[in-house]
Chain A
Amino acid sequence: MYVAVKGGERAIDNAHAWLAEERRGDTAVAELTLPQIREQLKLAVNRVMAEGSLFDPDLAALAIKQARGDLIEAIFLIRAYRTTLPRLGTSLPVDTADMAVDRRISATFKDLPGGQVLGPTFDYTHRLLDFALAAEGEAPVAAKAPATLGPVPHVTAFLNRDGLIEDAPRDDTQPADLTRTPLELPADRPLRLQAITRGDEGFILSMAYSTQRGYGRTHAFVGELRIGRVAVEMEIPELGFAVEIGEVELTECETVNQFKGSKTEPPQFTRGYGLVFGQTERKAIAMSLVDRALRWKELGEDHIGAPAQDEEFVLYHCDNIQATGFLEHIKLPHYVDFQSELELVRRLRAEAMTMQEAAE
């Protein structure tokens, strides 16, 4: 039961004023600018865009500053802001084969056309703290080598030629949008992917890890991981043709999974798919594992009761704004609820005492 109570207004105003002062911190230290956050905390910005489900690096930087670096709070701010925007339209599906790749690797094929391009990766760093960064003023310079521009074909296309991997046939059915109509189960794969790509990175990571440890094992290899920028095109009704309206950075992961075949499918490799805003490779890999685990039914696999196979469990718990909203609301006043619980416990105790006395 919820009952409105008044009286906290002055305390709330003062708490907000103190919050603002604490956010700024020591004024002897220079204030953070939004371009600093956007450029130097780029991966935090990317996470806020991916889970806030809105690609706008400047807004994500503002949200991070306002949330004092609490990324879930920042995602909350972005989600709230995006509901105020009129929807101007829906893009054509982006063509990730036409991505300007910064990074593109495969764990399954050493010699893939286009090569293994490592990009700006943490892989192969020694995870030793670099105390040189504590001193300011560095402007490191990347090496360069002659480059050719052009589409980079997907690795799975090579396996496809031999029929060894399931196809992802072209289909232009417009997907449901969970930001417009409530998520209803069972959800088809496009709807699941929308939920997972905006889901909490930690949750999706743990779900993916659980499949690797045996809770719905799918034996995944990273067939291909690519990070880069793709153009976004949209049909403009007043023009009658499509134009590029911008460019987004994406991370795409395709996993290739061992598959012994089932009652309905021949032995072949199957696929899991991850596509996430920004350079967000942990999330994209995890997404593709969870996507694959959720496909057990359509592939005729056994449901072994693993959490990652359970669509309701994954989709209803992956959204950190829903989760944090429900979790944190229990700290807000529940005086009346608790009063009734208190009375119930007192009555039960009184009854128990009476019975005990009667027994003695």
Chain B
Amino acid sequence: MTSDALTGGFAKAPQQSARAFRGLLEVMARPGTIHLLEGAAPPAPLSVAAGVALLTLADGTTPLHLTGAADCAAVRDWVTFHIGAPLVAAEDADFALGRWQDLQPLHRFRIGQPDYPDRSATLIVEVDRLEAAGARLTGPGIKDAAHLSLPEVAAFRANRALFPLGFDVLLTCGAQVAGLPRSTIVEDV
């Protein structure tokens, strides 16, 4: 294991993970809002927000799928030391991390079962820009409508059609994070 893998975790895990968890709850509860996640320094190419989200949500009991540039030795070692999540194929993942094009095809990810809709994947999607503009979002947690820059619309409409099954999404860019739960209705503007 490279010694770079050993740095960049939370220095004060209880406080930092609680603060990050609150931020993640907020973005999932209010789709379209953007929060900042800070306190970790993951290796390239991971964004700070993606690293903090993993440190906060994942552990040895949540299998993780890394894809594209994120699936490199530096990230794998960092995850192994700081998080301990088993690295698995897309079909077995609770969490998946990568850029939108690298996460395709999406049908590989778990969408839960009718009696256990929670047994589904959360995709952490690294994007180049994240702003409250673009696709129109409506649904639970949104007063009237919100807007969010999404990599595409069709995939999220298809995912919404599976409700209460489906995957959930976190979008990360630098320290920014936004959430798109399966319950959100997404439309082109």
User: Which residues of chain A have a CB within 8 Å of any CB of chain B?
Assistant: 86-89, 180, 237-238, 240
Main secondary structure of the interface of B (DSSP, over half): loop
The answer to whether B61 and A238 have CB atoms under 8 Å apart is no
Structural contact, A89 and B6, CB atoms closer than 8 A = no
Q: Is the CB of B6 within 8 A of A180?
A: no
- In whole angstroms, what is the CA distance A180 to B81 when docked? 22
Q: Which residues of A contact B60 (CB under 8 A)?
A: 87-89
* B61–A87 CB distance below 8 A: yes
Q: A240 to B81, alpha carbons, bound, how many Å?
A: 11
Q: Are A237 and B80 within 8 A (Cβ)?
A: yes
Within 110-164 of B, Cβ neighbours of A (below 8 Å) are at none
Determine the chain B residues whose CB is within 8 A of the CB of A86 once the complex forms.
59
Give Cα distance in the complex from A142 to B61, angstroms: 46
Quick one: closest A residue to B77, CB to CB? Answer: A238
- Inter-chain contacts of B5 with A (CB < 8 A): 238
CB of B80 within 8 A of CB of A180, answer no
**Which residues does chain A contribute within 8 Å of B1, judged by CB atoms?**
237-238, 240
A75 CB to nearest B CB, Å: 24
CB neighbours of B81 from chain A (8 A):
237-238
Nearest A residue to B6 via CB reads A238
Q: Looking at B5, B59, B60, which has the most chain A CB atoms within 10 Å of its CB?
A: B60
In angstroms, how far is the closest chain A Cβ from the Cβ of B75? 14
Residues of B within 8 A of A87 (CB): 59-61
Q: Residue B8 at the A interface, CB < 8 A?
A: no
Min CB distance A238 to B, Å, is 5
B86 nearest in chain A by CB position: A237
Q: How far is the CB of A90 from chain B (nearest CB, A)?
A: 8
Measured between beta carbons, the chain A residues less than 8 angstroms from B59 are 86-87
Q: Which residue of B lies closest to A239 (CB)?
A: B1
Asked if B84 is at the interface (CB within 8 A of a chain A CB), the reply is: yes
Residues of B within 8 A of A238 (CB): 1, 5-6, 80-81
Contact partners of B61 in chain A: CB under 8 A: 87, 180
A88 contacts across to B, CB distance below 8 A: 60, 84
Most interface-central of A86, A180, A238, A240 (chain B CB within 10 A)? A238
Q: How far is the CA of A240 from the CA of B59 in the complex (A)?
A: 18
As a 0/1 sequence over residues 76 to 92 of chain B, the CB contacts with chain A under 8 angstroms (1 = contact) are 00001100100000000
